[in-house]
């Protein structure tokens, strides 16, 4: 189902596990992510009325950037789940989560049907088993609830560029990735009878390149995507 990124790797940076990578990146993460990959996509979503969400779960909440965005957009009750304590300490400091659980997003201890909205941003490319992740989202969602998924674009991954960061010595480090093609997402979603409400792709444009000229070599290429899935009101058995 998932393809190991290693077969596409064009950069050959030292590759860290998720735990080691995000431990090392945690103190620089918020200063290095400016929202270009994900917030611009969240801003385009119109099938979710954020201010009417009762309870939300932010899976792979990291430093809480997305929890903060949700809170700014009127979501008042948010639970966060992540496996990297150094990232979670920063999420805690943002003060936007009702509770934070240090768990695997594929098997949380949250009760079933606890959320009107589940968000997962920039972590699905670290997950080898998409079906398990989608299955857990389905368990958490209430009928008619939404799943907002923002991911690093498979096109970019197969161009050979992994999730990576510069450490404080200026050395590039990659974090273990898996490639999921859009058909993999659709297959996993269809298994849960979800409906696709919206999809967007973030293309590197001239505005981005003017602000950050090294991105010129990627102009007109997609770097990230957002999908909004909706769980049906009921399922035929
Ligand atoms: C790129 S960060 C994204 C954080 C946040 N969603 C954001 O957009 O800023 C990826 C996060 O996914 C978490 N993560 C990756 N795989 C995970 C798993 N199986 N269970 C829990 N957290 C995971 C990492 O610990 C890290 O904090």
Q: Which atom of ligand 1 is nearest to the CA of 150?
A: 8
pLDDT tens digits for range 151-173: 999 999 999 999 999 988 999 99
pLDDT at residue number 236: 62
CB within 8 Å of 216: residues ≥ 6 apart = 209
Instruction: Classify 231 as helix, strand or coil.
Output: coil
pLDDT tens digits for range 105-134: 999 999 999 999 999 999 999 999 999 999
CB within 8 Å of 140: residues ≥ 6 apart = 57, 108, 110, 112, 113, 114, 115, 118
Overall fold of domain 32-157+183-230: Rossmann fold (3.40.50)
Q: Which atom of ligand 1 is nearest to the CA of 88?
A: 27
| Residues with a CB atom less than 6 Å from ligand 1 | 18, 22, 38, 60-63, 65-66, 82-84, 87, 104-106, 121-123, 126-127
- CB distance 135 to 193 below 8 Å: no
pLDDT at residue number 2: 81
pTM above 0.85, yes or no: yes
- Compute the distance between CA of residue 82 and CA of residue 87 in angstroms, rounded to an integer: 8
Three-state SS string across 97-149, please?
Answer: CCEEEECCCCCCCCCCCCEEEEEEECCHHHCCCHHHHHHHHHHHEEEEEEEEE
Mutate to test the pocket of ligand 1, among 32, 39, 123 (most ligand atoms within 8 A of CB): 123
Assign 235 a pLDDT band (cuts: 50, 70, 90).
Answer: confident
Say yes or no to pLDDT of 1 above 80. Answer: no
* 105 CA → ligand 1 middle, Å: 9
Bridge partners for 105 per DSSP: none
pLDDT at residue number 234: 86
Assign 237 a pLDDT band (cuts: 50, 70, 90).
Answer: low
Bridge partners for 148 per DSSP: 119, 228
* 120 CA → ligand 1 middle, Å: 8
- Compute the distance between CA of residue 87 and CA of residue 63 in angstroms, rounded to an integer: 5
**Which residue, by CA, sits nearest to atom 8 of ligand 1?**
121
Domain ranges of the chain: 32-157+183-230
């Amino acid at each position: 189902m998932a393809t190991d990124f290693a077969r596409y790797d064009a950069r050959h940076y030292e590759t860290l596990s998720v735990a080691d990578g995000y431990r090392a990146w945690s103190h620089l993460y918020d200063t290095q992510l400016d929202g270009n990959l994900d917030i611009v996509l969240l801003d385009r979503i119109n099938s979710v009325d954020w201010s009417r969400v009762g309870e939300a779960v932010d899976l792979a909440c990291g430093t809480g950037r997305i929890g903060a965005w949700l809170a700014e957009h009127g979501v008042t009750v948010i639970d966060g789940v992540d496996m990297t304590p150094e990232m979670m300490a920063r999420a805690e400091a943002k003060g936007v989560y009702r509770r934070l659980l240090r768990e695997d997003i594929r098997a949380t201890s949250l009760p079933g049907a606890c959320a009107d909205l589940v968000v997962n941003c920039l972590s699905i490319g670290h997950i080898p088993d998409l079906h398990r992740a989608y299955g857990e989202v389905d368990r958490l969602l209430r009928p008619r609830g939404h799943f907002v998924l923002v991911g690093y674009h498979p096109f970019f991954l197969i161009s050979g560029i992994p999730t990576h960061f510069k450490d404080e010595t200026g050395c590039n480090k990659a974090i273990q990735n898996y490639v999921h093609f859009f058909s993999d997402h659709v297959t996993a979603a269809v298994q849960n009878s979800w409906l696709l409400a919206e999809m967007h792709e973030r293309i590197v444009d001239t505005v981005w390149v003017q602000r950050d000229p090294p991105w010129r070599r990627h102009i007109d290429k997609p770097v990230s995507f957002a999908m909004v899935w909706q769980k049906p009101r009921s399922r035929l058995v």
